[in-house]
């Protein structure tokens, strides 16, 4: 539930948008819990090949490039398959690292960077498919969401806890998968008598959520920087 929380005190303070029990985060968390054991088993099987977890993670970029190619050529169905594959790859790399006993800070750092490359590449495919504005809005908003926490960490000490905001990477991924799936079966919808692309509508929805999340992060960062939020 998204709501506006006004803080009242003797000194004027800004309010910040606060998100609690985000339905997408809840769904994502439940999905993680259900897939945890199967992923650990698959990770253990892949570990027998001896492949380095960082190299394994990098393959997600390849799947993203292939997905972007098919999306750009308006083959959403095949693009959808490779988006799913990239998402599965991202979910497996951590399990693989644990199975091989190669969990590292650099691996965590590299995984986060690869996630950003994957997302940018996929939306580049949408840009070439004719969704330039939508793709730009989503990616630009996503960059702000990602940078907000990193910038706060430069100014003050911040741990790695999740921020109570919407528009996180998992939110965007879940919505994108839903959007692509719906657009396969329902490419367009009529609104006030005009045919509108289902994919376009969902991309604008993702962009709106992302920008709301970026504003939430500004106010949440303000609380942390001014010492009003315990971390």
* 87 part of a folded domain: yes
* 230 part of a folded domain: no
Q: Which domain holds residue 138?
A: 22-225
Task: Give the number of C-alpha atoms closer than 13 A to the C-alpha of residue 183, restricted to the C-beta side.
Answer: 23
Over its C-alpha atoms, the chain yields an Rg (Å, rounded) of 19
pLDDT of residue 85: 95
CATH of the domain at 38: 1.20.120.1760
Hey, how many other C-beta atoms are within 10 angstroms of the C-beta on 39? 19
pLDDT of residue 12: 35
Q: Helix 169-185 vs helix 23-47: angle between axes, to the nearest 10 degrees?
A: 90
Catalytic residue among 90, 93, 111, 115: 115
Percent of the chain at pLDDT > 70 equals 84
* 14 part of a folded domain: no
pLDDT of residue 30: 65
Percent of the chain at pLDDT > 90 equals 43
* 73 part of a folded domain: yes
* 7 part of a folded domain: no
- Which residues of the chain, if any, have pLDDT below 70? 1-32, 228-231
Active site residue 90: no
Q: In terms of Cα–Cα distance, which of 125, 17, 24, 137 is closest to 78?
A: 125
Question: 3-state SS string over 196-222?
Answer: EEHHHHHHHHHHHHHHHHHHHHHHHHH
Residue pLDDT, tens place only, 67-92: 999 999 999 999 999 999 999 998 88
* 70 part of a folded domain: yes
Quick one: which H or E segment has residue 3? strand 2-5
SS3 content of the chain, % helix, strand, coil (to 5): 70, 5, 25
Residue pLDDT, tens place only, 84-113: 999 999 888 888 888 888 888 898 889 989
Q: In terms of Cα–Cα distance, which of 170, 179, 153 is closest to 210?
A: 170
Hey, how many other C-beta atoms are within 10 angstroms of the C-beta on 201? 17
Q: How many domains in the chain?
A: 1
pLDDT of residue 19: 40
Tokens 């990193």 belong to which residue?
150
* 3 part of a folded domain: no
* 231 part of a folded domain: no
Question: 3-state SS string over 148-210?
Answer: HHHHHHHHCCCCCCCCCCCCCHHHHHHHHHHHHHHHHHCCEEEECCEEEEHHHHHHHHHHHHH
């Amino acid at each position: 539930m998204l709501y506006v929380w006004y803080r009242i005190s003797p000194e004027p303070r800004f309010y910040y948008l606060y998100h609690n029990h985000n339905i997408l985060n809840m769904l994502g968390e439940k999905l993680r819990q259900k897939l945890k054991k199967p992923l650990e088993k698959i990770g253990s099987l892949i570990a027998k090949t001896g492949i380095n977890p960082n190299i394994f993670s990098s393959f997600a970029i390849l799947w993203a490039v292939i997905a972007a190619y098919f999306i750009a050529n308006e083959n959403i169905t095949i693009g959808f398959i490779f988006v799913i594959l990239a998402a599965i790859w991202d979910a497996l790399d951590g399990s693989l690292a644990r199975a091989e006993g190669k969990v590292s800070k650099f691996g965590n750092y590299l995984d986060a960077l690869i996630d950003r490359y994957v997302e940018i590449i996929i939306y580049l495919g949408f840009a070439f498919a004719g969704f330039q504005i939508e793709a730009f809005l989503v990616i630009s908003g996503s960059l702000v969401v990602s940078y907000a926490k990193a910038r706060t960490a430069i100014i003050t000490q911040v741990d790695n806890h999740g921020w109570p905001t919407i528009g996180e990477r998992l939110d965007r991924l879940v919505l994108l998968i839903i959007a692509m799936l719906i657009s396969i079966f329902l490419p367009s919808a009529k609104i006030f008598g005009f045919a509108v692309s289902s994919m376009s509508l969902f991309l604008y929805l993702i962009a709106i959520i992302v920008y709301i999340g970026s504003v939430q992060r500004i106010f949440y960062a303000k609380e942390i920087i001014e010492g009003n939020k315990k971390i």
